[in-house]
């Protein structure tokens, strides 16, 4: 949906800058168009969500009869806050989710999945439900629409100023005046783009603050922050820890992935771990999983660009609220640092920087080649003369050929690094407690279990899935990267695989949450499904080699 509106915005903007004059009037028109697009998106988005998700809407009376513990909290919030009763829905999918959407707090929809009701205890269900109600009573629908509109308006100004500077060439008889105008417009474009980027980061900060406020609302409704804290452990890490000892002893494997309560753009998957029979073992597992949030530099990177705070940060904040209600926190990370150091040593920045280097390797070579080319062009047009480099400039076709061959080889090295061999049988438990894993540094693994739901529950076009073994659940990333291929797989295959036992070969990653990227899926029905995303990455190496061959051809015929 976001991509659709981005495409519409791009088309409208291109038409606008092409036909509108490069004047203040043109800027006003473009801002008006942008605001109109935002209002249109705000107005139609709840309808689109209702169309794209298979939601079973249920009347309040039925909801209260089936879930009286949730109805009690709902009645309390509605009466105290003076809002209209939200529309309530259930998605029949065992991938646990909870989210809310709508136009305002008096036209809200709150949706739960069967997974929420199956895998969370009643108190945790209530905590998650109250968190979503917190977004409703705080009018986050309207607030965040306005907040995220500001960066888009600044981007509109930046783009208008850039194109206006381009179209202003030759538009005035006075060349000096035209030059000053272009410089002013370019300065406006640069400052507006910088402001856009900073305002976007500020918008994400505000979004994360709103999540903290919704967490506080949940704690206030239940008068117990621990319920949401243990729920977040299940949602973000999949670890089962229950405040009720007797219930804990009877517990089985649980898992959750959040939409609304957890960042859907960041949540590539969530794994869970069976906690064993002792509190110490379960707390150790929790702290190993949380150590990634607390100490892995990749977590800091993802936090900066996330709409939701890192789960460990949210749990720590909820623990601080426990003093207000006179109770002891159930989750603590006092031993997380020691457990992390046992796995990864005192610092992980060296591995993080190496990951970044490997990820950017072909790009760095291309930038160097581009820099050499720009210097050569400036020398060619007489901007300056560098006689020492003349032999190189005389053989630029050869330089480009060598450069593209290096890019090709670097692409192969990068792919080999990100898609390692040496696959071994693993459990979800083994994978989720690994602190060193990253989106680049992977663990090649075979996992066996059952597909229990879609990656995005209720979404008709979800190509990803949810997997369960005897130790936990994990998000399965099947995305190929080519829209039509993903669409065909989502429509033809995903529903058939749900409920089947499977064996998956893939690469375990975390970014920031755990997931496995598929290479091959074997199902109990005898079908085999390959994902060629790794092979597709070699396409760029082949393309670079072909361009290099072309450059060699021109070098020899020259």
Query: Residue 12: CB partners within 8 Å, gap ≥ 6?
Result: 33, 37
Q: Tell me the two tokens of residue 249.
A: 């002893």
Q: Tell me the two tokens of residue 98.
A: 């909870």
Closest CA to 99 of 251, 296, 335, 257: 257
d(CA 99, CA 311): 17
Integer angstrom CA distances of residue 27 from 7, 156, 205, 234: 20, 9, 29, 49
Contact 325, 376 (CB under 8 A): no
Q: What are phi and psi of 456, to 5 degrees?
A: -115, 100
Element (H, E) at 504: strand 501-510
Element (H, E) at 12: helix 2-19
Q: What are phi and psi of 241, to 5 degrees?
A: -140, 130
Closest CA to 463 of 443, 436, 481: 481
Antiparallel, parallel or unpaired: β 514-523 and 473-477: parallel
d(CA 116, CA 140): 23
Contact 229, 141 (CB under 8 A): no
d(CA 348, CA 23): 52
The set of catalytic residues is 132
Tell me the Ramachandran region of residue 472: left when phi exceeds 0, alpha when psi lies from -120 to 50, beta otherwise.
left
Q: Tell me the two tokens of residue 362.
A: 């072909």
The vertex-304 CA angle with 298 and 306, nearest 5°, equals 95
d(CA 268, CA 96): 14
């Amino acid at each position: 949906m976001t991509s659709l509106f981005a495409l519409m915005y791009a088309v409208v903007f291109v038409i606008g800058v092409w036909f509108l004059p490069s004047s203040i009037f043109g800027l006003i028109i473009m801002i008006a168009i942008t605001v109109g697009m935002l209002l249109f998106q705000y107005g139609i988005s709840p309808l689109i969500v209702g169309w794209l998700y298979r939601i079973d809407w249920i009347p309040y009376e039925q909801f209260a009869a089936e879930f009286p513990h949730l109805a009690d909290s709902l009645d309390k919030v509605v009466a105290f806050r003076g809002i209209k009763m939200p529309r309530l829905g259930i998605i029949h999918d065992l991938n646990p989710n909870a989210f809310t959407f709508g136009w305002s707090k008096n036209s809200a929809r709150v949706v739960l999945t069967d997974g929420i009701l199956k895998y969370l205890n009643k108190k945790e269900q209530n905590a998650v439900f109250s968190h979503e109600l917190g977004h409703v009573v705080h009018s986050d629908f309207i607030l965040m629409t306005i907040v995220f509109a500001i960066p888009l308006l600044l981007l509109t100004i930046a783009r208008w100023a850039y194109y206006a500077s381009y179209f202003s060439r030759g538009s005035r008889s006075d060349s000096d005046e035209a030059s000053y105008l272009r410089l002013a417009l370019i300065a406006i474009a640069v400052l507006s783009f910088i402001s856009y980027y900073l305002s976007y980061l500020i918008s994400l900060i505000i979004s994360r603050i709103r999540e903290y406020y919704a967490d506080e609302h949940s704690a206030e409704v239940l008068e117990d922050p621990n319920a949401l804290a243990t729920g977040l452990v299940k949602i973000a890490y999949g670890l089962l820890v229950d405040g009720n000892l007797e219930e804990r002893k009877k517990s089985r494997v649980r898992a959750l992935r959040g939409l609304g309560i957890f960042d859907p753009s960041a949540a590539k998957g969530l794994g869970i771990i069976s906690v064993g029979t002792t509190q110490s073992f379960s707390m150790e597992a929790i702290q190993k999983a949380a150590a990634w949030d607390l100490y892995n530099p990749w977590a800091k990177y993802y936090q900066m660009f996330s709409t939701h705070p890192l789960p460990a940060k949210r749990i720590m904040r909820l623990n601080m609220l426990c003093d207000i209600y006179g109770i002891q926190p159930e989750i603590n990370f006092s031993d997380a640092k020691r457990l992390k150091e046992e796995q990864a040593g005192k610092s992980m920045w060296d591995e993080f920087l190496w990951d970044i280097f490997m990820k950017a390797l072909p790009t760095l070579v291309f930038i160097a080649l581009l820099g050499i080319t720009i210097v050569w062009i400036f020398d060619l047009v007489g901007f300056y003369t560098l006689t020492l480099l003349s032999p190189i400039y005389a053989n630029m076709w050869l330089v480009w050929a060598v450069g593209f061959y290096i890019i090709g080889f670097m692409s192969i090295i990068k792919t080999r690094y990100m898609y390692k061999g040496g696959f071994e049988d693993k459990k979800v438990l083994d994978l989720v407690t690994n602190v060193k894993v990253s989106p680049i540094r992977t663990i090649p693994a075979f996992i066996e279990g059952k597909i229990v739901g879609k990656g995005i529950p209720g979404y008709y076009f979800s190509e990803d899935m949810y997997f369960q073994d005897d130790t936990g659940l994990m998000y399965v990333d099947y995305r190929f990267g080519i829209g039509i291929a993903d669409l065909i797989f989502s429509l033809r295959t995903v529903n058939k695989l749900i409920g089947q036992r499977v064996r998956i070969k893939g690469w375990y990653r975390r970014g920031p949450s755990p997931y496995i990227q598929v290479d091959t899926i074997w199902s109990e029905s005898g079908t085999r499904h390959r994902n060629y995303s790794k092979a597709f990455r070699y396409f760029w190496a082949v393309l670079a080699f072909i361009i290099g061959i072309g450059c060699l051809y021109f070098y020899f015929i020259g």
